[in-house]
Amino acid sequence: MQQAVDIPLKISQSAALLEVVHSAIGLVKSPVAITAMQVASRIWCLWGIVVPCAATVIPQGLLTAGQQAALGLPGWANINFITLMTAWACSEVIRYGFFALKEAFGTPPYFATWLRYTAFMVLYPLGVSSELTMAWRALPDIKARGLFSSTLPNSWNWGFDYHLVCVLVMATYIPGLPQLYGYMLTQRKKVLGGGAAKPKAKAA
């Protein structure tokens, strides 16, 4: 399973950095800060957790319970990987599908609009919980290997503890998710719930 999604996952998620650029230069109307938060969490989870700690956080195929136990993987390891891929993939298909239909028809079909502004209610919590679980599972490995870390003394006279950075990044999810979720709820109300009140008809 890992081999099947390896290259497409790296390309698609890394290319999402262009979304921040597009927002910053005004090509799209999405807020830069909100877009950057969303993209940054995935980039960090992919390149800072999943790729360097793949042997720890990703089962090599759908393992049996006995195989997972032999490798020291918890019983939910397969499920966590599947939920992460499901959340990321469904979010992108729905969002970019909506944009494609909007470009093609001007006004996208209602089902695409409804999915764009409703599916996040399940996919956001699913994605965030999966990302955090991946990171939590990787923490012991990161600390044991000293991944991306630099201890003193060294020629640069500078220390860096990536394990601590990961813990701090995980902590930012606490205020970050409500902000992203609240923004999408506001957008959903504007698009699907009527948003601003309609102007009253003039009296005859």
Catalytic positions: 124, 131
- Residue 21 sits at the vertex; the CA angle it makes with 17 and 24, to the nearest 5 degrees, is 140
Taking phi first (over 0 means left), then psi (-120 to 50 degrees means alpha), and beta for anything else, what does residue 26 get? left
- Helix residue ranges per DSSP H, the chain: 2-15, 17-24, 32-43, 54-57, 65-71, 77-105, 110-116, 120-145, 162-192
Distance of CA 52 to CAs 90, 135, 158, Å? 24, 11, 23
For residues 126 and 86, the answer to whether their CB atoms sit within 8 Å is yes
- In the DSSP assignment, the letter for residue 15 is H
SS3 assignment, position 150: strand
